[in-house]
């Protein structure tokens, strides 16, 4: 059995710490300012790390790339909306917001590529699809959140400014400086990756501190967590089945079908937590990211088993 993802374990530790020792007052305000800087730095490094030509290369196999984008940004939101309309009273409002927010997020990069490689899939296509999904998600995810959640506070003038200054502008600056610092960023990939993850842990701690002060654990029960896990599992299994069937229907090669299956079913925790911090009120961020954290572990566990199954096949 796959052990708990270390990154997720650190996020759970941050939740526990926030539950026992939440930050308040001036300290909370200072940490919120620090998280704003950390989020901007994360997207700056993403821009500096990414080869500009990777964006152009990503559209070569246009049928595969469009299929991934459709699954990520159309299929998932429609599924989330359908479930929330069909079973509106199954979860409290903030948890349903979290499930819908999860459905609006881009695909992962690292795990999609790694699992495609393990499964002997089309790795170059996976790199392009995951990269394109993340770039598109910087713009598409906030728009989808506005449309799907239909919550005025999510897409206010301030939210637009926050998205522009904390996500788009740092990414664009990083891209413009790629030729100068891209090599340095790649050479220091490990420490910078730890910095990225540390920033996300800080965002989670700050968000859950505010949520604890607002009484999150009086609103969210074990039943809510269990139901959310069941909904996440339902979404993951459905999309895995759909993407595999879609690849066969379009007569993709087996390696390309594997790439579609893994890239089209993933949701990015690394992008989702910072975006939630920008798009949602401070008091609700902690609750909103809970479904995403549960989905993150489910996708790692199930897709690792699936990748190993693919790797053992000899028919391609």
- Give the span between the Cα atoms of 111 and 5, in whole angstroms: 11
- Give the span between the Cα atoms of 167 and 45, in whole angstroms: 11
User: Would you state the structure tokens that stand for residue 57, as one six-digit string?
Assistant: 């290369």
**Residue 107: per-residue pLDDT:** 94
Residues 6 or more apart whose Cβ sits within 8 Å of residue 143: none
pLDDT digits (tens, 9 = 90+) for 31-88: 888 888 888 888 888 778 777 665 555 556 788 999 999 999 999 999 999 999 999 9
CA 296 to chain centre: 8
Residues 6 or more apart whose Cβ sits within 8 Å of residue 243: 67, 71, 257, 260, 261, 264, 265
Window from 21-30, 48-57, 166-175 with minimum mean pLDDT: 48-57
260: enclosing H helix or E strand: helix 254-265
Most confident residue range from 8-22, 54-68, 141-155: 8-22
Residues 6 or more apart whose Cβ sits within 8 Å of residue 148: 77, 80, 81, 100, 103, 104
- Give the span between the Cα atoms of 199 and 190, in whole angstroms: 14
Please state the length of the chain: 316
pLDDT digits (tens, 9 = 90+) for 93-114: 889 999 999 999 999 887 888 8
Please report which confidence band the pLDDT of residue 1 belongs to, taking 50, 70 and 90 as the band edges: very low
Torsion of CA 310, 311, 312, 316, to 10 degrees: 80
**Residue 104: per-residue pLDDT:** 96
pLDDT at residue 164 greater than cutoff 90 = no
- Give the span between the Cα atoms of 10 and 7, in whole angstroms: 5
Please report which confidence band the pLDDT of residue 314 belongs to, taking 50, 70 and 90 as the band edges: low
pLDDT digits (tens, 9 = 90+) for 271-289: 898 889 888 888 788 899 9
Indicate the pTM of the whole model: 0.83
Most confident residue range from 107-116, 126-135, 181-190, 288-297: 288-297
């Amino acid at each position: 059995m796959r052990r708990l993802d270390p990154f997720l374990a650190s996020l759970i530790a941050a939740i526990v710490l926030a539950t026992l020792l939440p930050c308040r007052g001036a300290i909370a305000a200072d940490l919120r300012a620090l998280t704003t800087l950390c989020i901007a730095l994360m997207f700056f490094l993403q821009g500096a790390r990414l080869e500009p030509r990777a964006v152009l290369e990503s559209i070569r196999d246009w049928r595969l790339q469009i299929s991934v984008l459709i699954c990520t940004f159309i299929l998932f939101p429609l599924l989330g909306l359908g479930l929330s309309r069909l079973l509106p009273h199954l979860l409290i409002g903030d948890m349903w917001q979290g499930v819908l927010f999860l459905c609006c997020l881009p695909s992962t990069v690292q795990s999609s590529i790694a699992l495609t490689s393990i499964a002997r899939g089309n790795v170059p296509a996976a790199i392009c699809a995951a990269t394109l999904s993340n770039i598109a998600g910087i713009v598409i995810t906030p728009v989808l959140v506005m449309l799907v959640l239909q919550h005025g506070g999510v897409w206010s003038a301030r939210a637009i400014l926050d998205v522009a200054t904390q996500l788009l502008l740092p990414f664009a600056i990083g891209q413009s400086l790629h030729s100068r610092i891209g090599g340095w960023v790649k050479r220091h990939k490990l420490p910078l990756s730890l910095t990225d993850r540390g920033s996300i842990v800080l965002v989670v701690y700050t968000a859950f501190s505010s949520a604890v002060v607002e009484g999150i654990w009086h609103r969210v029960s074990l039943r809510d967590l269990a139901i959310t896990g069941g909904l996440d599992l339902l979404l993951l299994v459905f999309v895995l089945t759909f993407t595999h069937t879609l690849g066969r229907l379009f007569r993709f090669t087996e390696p390309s079908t594997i790439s579609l299956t893994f890239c089209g079913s993933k949701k990015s925790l690394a992008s989702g937590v910072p975006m939630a911090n920008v798009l949602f009120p401070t008091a609700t961020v902690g609750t909103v990211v809970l479904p995403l954290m549960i989905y993150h572990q489910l996708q790692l566990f199930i897709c690792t088993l699936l990748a190993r199954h693919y790797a053992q096949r000899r028919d391609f």
